[in-house]
Amino acid sequence: MNICINNIVPYTNSTEDIAAAKRAQAFYTGWFLDPLYYGDYPLVMKENTGSKLPKFSQSQSKQLINSMDFLGINYYTFLYVKDDPHHAPSNKRNFRADMAAKSIFSSNSTSGVRQTCSKSVLINIKCIITKG
């Protein structure tokens, strides 16, 4: 499997933006990888989307866990994330509203940014895989 991910960084050091960055990580990356490693979607996704997100049966979860033999990661940009409480989860299917965060894309075209992001993305990948 190959996945394209962004390094997700809080827009500010506020508690709200840090929490929004964690939610965004779950929505952008955990949505795809958590089922393959843990057999289910990230908890914050399930909480924020409610019944809009399909549920895996126990049998499906067991089949998914460790079902891939290779994970390739494409990484091109990083993403600033800002808390957006006005976009609270609703009954309508809306990825951004359920995430309750604004995404601000940025290029990693300068070498200083690229070095910083490369270190951070490795930390994020470790967190995804180890849930830590």
- For 20-49, write each residue's pLDDT tens digit: 999 999 988 899 999 999 999 999 999 888
Alpha carbons 67 and 36: distance in angstroms, whole number: 6
Residue 63 has pLDDT above 80, yes or no: yes
Alpha carbons 52 and 39: distance in angstroms, whole number: 18
pLDDT digits (tens, 9 = 90+) for 66-87: 898 888 888 777 788 888 877 6
| DSSP structure class, residue 3 | E
Alpha carbons 70 and 80: distance in angstroms, whole number: 28
User: How confident is the model at residue 78, as a pLDDT?
Assistant: 79
Alpha carbons 62 and 86: distance in angstroms, whole number: 37
Helix (H, G, I), strand (E, B) or coil at 127: helix
What is the mean predicted confidence (pLDDT) over 8-27?
91
Alpha carbons 45 and 101: distance in angstroms, whole number: 13
